[in-house]
Each structure stands twice: as C-alpha cells, then as structure tokens.
C-alpha cells in the first residue's frame, strides 16, 4: 500500500543520529518506522500521526528502543490491536529469559502446518549424537530444527552458528530414522531464530544450502510471515495482562494466545477476575 507521508521534520543536512540496540549509531531512517507501522496493519492516518509526532520530538543520541516505546505508546492510544502486532518482535524476546518457551513456540508453528512434533530429541548421527530442539514430520518429510533464542533484539545469529548447524545436519543426513511408524531420512535441517541473521551468516547459508528462518529472513516465509499467516500470536503480545501474569502463563506451558482460549481455566486458577478474563478474551479474538 502506497502512503504519502509529509516531509520528515528534520533539518536538511543535519540528520538526527540514533543509537541502535547493539550500540551502533546511524542516521534516523523514517522509512524503517513507516514500514514497521504499515506491516503491523496501522491505518495510513494513524501511521502519519505517529510519524509526524516522532519526527517532531527526535533528538540526537536517542535510542531506537526509546523511539519504539514512544511510537508504541501513541499507537496503543489510537489502534490497540495494531499496537499488539507492532510489538510482535519484542513479544518474542519477552518469552525468555530461557530459550525453552521459544522452542515450544517454534514447535507450535510446525503443528499449525500439519506436522507431528517431537521436542528435545537426542538423535544419533553418523559420527556423533546430537540434541535437537524440534523434530517435525509428516507422511513425506522429516525436518530437524536447531532453535536459537535471543532475549535482546540487537543480538544477531552469526556465521559461526550457521557453520556449526551445517556440520550437525551433514552428520544427521547420513542416517535413517524411525518417525510416524516409518523409516525416513532427513528431508530438511533448519536453523530458526527470533531475531535476525548477520550478513555473513546469510551469505554462507545461501552458498552452502543451510535452511534458515529468522525474523525477516528469508524474504518470504520468514518468522514474521509465519506468525501472521497462522495467527501464532505469542502470549507476551497481549496488552491486557501484566509482565508477572505473562510469566505465570508461560510457566504453565502457554506460549500462544490461542491455547489460552482453549483452556480458560488457567486464568481462573491464576486468580483473574471474570472481568479481566472477558477483556483478555476480547483482545485475543480481535487478533484472530
């Protein structure tokens, strides 16, 4: 969707420098904010208001986290459900600090695509035994997945991880495995992360044939696309519950909003009032 935005409220020749989550400094790029808002389904009118306000309040040295928080605050007042989608990437990070909830989240994505799932598998390769986070299979395919979780968005999965994963899958490809009542060989090995990959990791993966899924990689079928396609909203994306309440639900094994809908008794057991439960149901339904 093409949207006409007013000229950024920044003096020509004096771009505001912002600080990224990894500490790097770069000129503020209004198009990144525009795209993130539109990708979250924000209306053109709402996006224009947020862009104008953010641009008018930019100062040199402001962090991208501060810009995000300000944009989220404005969006939450205007379009609450778009605010949930806008915060999706950070919601994935909030599944931590351990990587186990994200591993379960990845497993749920495979389930949504019709696969049977096994997690935390010790699998014998040709030369060594390997611990795999998620194994997914159906009548035709066997997919083994290494999951890398980062609880900070600025951290990227780098080349050494891609190299390590490639070596593991090369070892696993030489063996036969028994899943779903049949003997199968590895169809695909995947490296999945909740953030981004470094350029060198992507370059190597494209050359060596390493399957990788990150927040915005590949261009189609990335983690963001899969979440939207299968409506896999993490429990941490909900605005109507507190951080402690999210930890409670994650501790009970809930990583998806949709699974809470299937077992509302967990909310009653957690001491949620009926009014709070009704608000949570309303928010989850709005995402579906």
| In-domain check, residue 7 | no
Query: Residue written as tokens 């605050």?
Result: 73
Are residues 160 and 199 part of one domain?
Answer: yes
Q: Do residue 221 and residue 103 come from a single domain?
A: yes
Report residue 258 as tokens: 């949709």
Q: Which of 54, 69, 86 is the last residue of a domain?
A: 86
Whether 9 is in a domain gets the answer no
Render the burial of 218-247: b for 16+ CB within 10 Å, e for the rest. eeeebbbebbeeeebbbbbbbebbeeebbe
Q: What is the pLDDT of residue 4?
A: 46
Tell me what pLDDT residue 20 has. Answer: 84
**How far, in Å, are 124, 125, 175, 192, 243 from residue 129 at the CA level?**
4, 5, 11, 20, 38
β partners of residue 182:
179
Tell me: the pLDDT tens digits for 203-213?
A: 999 999 999 99
Domain co-membership, 145 together with 61: no
Confidence band for 5, pLDDT divided at 50, 70 and 90: very low
How crowded is residue 185: how many other Cβ atoms within 10 Å of its Cβ? 11
Q: How many domains does the chain have?
A: 3
- What pLDDT does 240 receive? 85
In a domain, 12, yes or no: no
pTM (2 d.p.): 0.81
Question: What is the predicted pLDDT for the residue at 7?
Answer: 39
Query: Domain boundary residue among 86, 102, 133?
Result: 86
- 119: domain range? 93-230
Start-end of H helices in 40-136:
44-57, 64-78, 80-86, 88-93, 100-112
Q: What is the pLDDT of residue 199?
A: 96
Same domain, 269 and 141: no
67-112 confidence digits (pLDDT tens)? 888 888 888 888 877 777 778 888 999 998 999 999 999 999 999 9
Q: pLDDT tens digits, residue range 33-68?
A: 888 888 777 888 888 999 999 988 888 999 988 888
Structure confidence by residue, pLDDT tens digits, 149-196: 998 877 899 999 999 999 999 999 999 999 999 999 999 999 999 999
Q: Token digits for 72?
A: 């989220």
């Amino acid at each position: 969707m093409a949207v006409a935005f007013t000229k950024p409220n920044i003096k020509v020749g004096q771009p505001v420098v912002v600080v990224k989550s990894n500490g790097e400094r770069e000129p503020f790029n209004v198009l990144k904010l525009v795209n993130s808002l539109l990708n979250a389904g924000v209306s053109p009118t709402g996006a224009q208001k947020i862009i104008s306000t953010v641009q008018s309040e930019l100062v040199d040295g402001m962090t991208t986290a501060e810009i995000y928080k300000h944009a989220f605050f404005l969006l939450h007042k205007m379009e609450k459900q778009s605010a949930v989608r806008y915060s999706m990437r950070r919601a994935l990070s909030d599944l931590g600090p351990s990587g186990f909830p994200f591993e379960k989240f990845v497993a749920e994505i495979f389930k949504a695509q019709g696969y049977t799932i096994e997690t935390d598998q010790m699998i014998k390769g040709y030369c060594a035994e390997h611990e795999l986070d998620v194994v997914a299979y159906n009548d035709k395919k066997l997919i083994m997945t290494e999951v890398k979780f980062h609880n900070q968005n600025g951290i990227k999965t780098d080349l050494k991880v891609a190299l390590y994963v490639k070596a593991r899958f090369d070892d696993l490809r030489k063996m036969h495995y028994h899943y779903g009542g049949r003997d199968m060989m590895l169809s695909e090995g995947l490296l999945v992360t909740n953030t981004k990959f470094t350029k060198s990791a992507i370059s190597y993966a494209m050359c060596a044939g390493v399957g990788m899924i990150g927040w915005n990689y590949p261009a189609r079928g990335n983690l963001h696309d899969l979440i939207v396609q299968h409506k896999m909203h993490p429990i941490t994306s909900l605005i109507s519950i507190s951080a402690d309440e999210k930890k409670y639900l994650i501790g009970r094994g809930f990583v998806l909003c949709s699974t809470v809908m299937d077992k509302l008794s967990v909310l009653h057991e957690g001491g949620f009032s009926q009014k709070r439960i009704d608000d949570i149901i309303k928010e989850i339904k709005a995402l579906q």
